[in-house]
Amino acid sequence: MSVRFSAWSLKGLTGDDLRVLTSIERGMINHEYVDVELIASISGLAKDYVEVVLKKLNKLGLVQRYRGSFTGYILTSRGYDCLAFNALVKRGTIVAISETPVGEGKESEVYLGKTSGERIVAVKVHRAGRTSFRGAKRVRGYVADKRHFSWLYLSRLAARNEYEALKILWRERVAVPEPVDWNRHVVVTEYVEGVELSEVPPLSEPILTLEKILAEVEKAYKAGVVHGDLNEYNVIVTKDEDIKLLDWPQWVSSAHPNAAFYLKRDIENIVNFFTRKYGLRLNKELYLSNIFTRLGLVA
């Protein structure tokens, strides 16, 4: 899904329009659909006026209307985009965003953005659970204890978790993009120009790149963070053959009971990739043993 329409819609929204969108967002914390009376109560606007605003927002595709025993509304992904972009624009974090994504995964899209200081940044929009909402609820540890949640809430938590991990890792000089800002389901970071490891770039010394990646994984663990889903699709290789590790929404703490399991899986994924794609003869068990011994873990 492109954010082009969301950005275009945002330009035509008034303060009251955004107020109604925010009221629906708040109402969705405890309601699957938010009725007009509650929207009016939260926004502090007259019910008749709220109904006029809702017709506009529905026509723009920013809210979805439900008609049954009552008339209720929920935010669409476009509506949620507008709220996040509005907050980031007000802070000067972004003043422009590309019309089409420069990267896209199962649960996110990445766009190029520009800050008020003319810096080019990556704008990652989380769409957690869009491919398998029930599956997302089942596997996401960070929502396991929530009785009520929506795709909106799940996406927000994914973005928050990723931003928190990046702050920790950047502070400890782990090779990750610099975190710039976040709001709701959107994370803004340094833009790293390069290619995904999955594209099998022609490395001058593949084994050195492998060892760089594993060294950063080890540093991340010492900083208190385990990626939990590391593979060739979230490692970027720059033209100088430096590396950056991306996509941290599913990270777990090094103190997590299953941290060693996730760490082992991350290491195995990367070593297996280099064995398979670069034809290296690698002793995976030796890599695991050495890293685990240095970290005081049992492989």
Q: Hey, what are 171's tokens?
A: 């502070």
Joined tokens for residue 92: 């000067």
Q: Considering only CA atoms, which of 61, 66, 1, 60 is closest in space to residue 27?
A: 66
CA distance 178 to 7: 24
- Is residue 229 flagged as an active site residue? yes
Torsion angles phi and psi, residue 220, rounded to 5: -65, -40
Determine the Cα–Cα distance for residues 184 and 181; give it in Å rounded to an integer: 10
DSSP string, 179-210: EEEEETTEEEEE---SEEGGG----SSHHHHH
Rounded Cα gap, residues 30 and 22, in angstroms: 14
In degrees and rounded to multiples of 5, residue 72 shows phi and psi of: -135, 170
- Tracing tokens 């420069």 back to the chain, one arrives at 102
What gap in Å lies between CA 190 and CA 176, rounded to an integer?
9
3-state secondary structure of 132: coil
Over its C-alpha atoms, the chain yields an Rg (Å, rounded) of 22
Q: Are 23 and 43 contacting, i.e. CB atoms less than 8 angstroms apart?
A: yes
Q: Which residue in the block uniquely carries the two structure tokens 């979805």?
A: 64
**Active-site residue, selected from the candidate residues 48, 229, 240, 247:** 229
Give alpha helix (H) positions in 130-283: 133-139, 151-171, 206-222, 259-277
Residue with tokens 């009251």: 16
Please identify every residue annotated as catalytic: 229
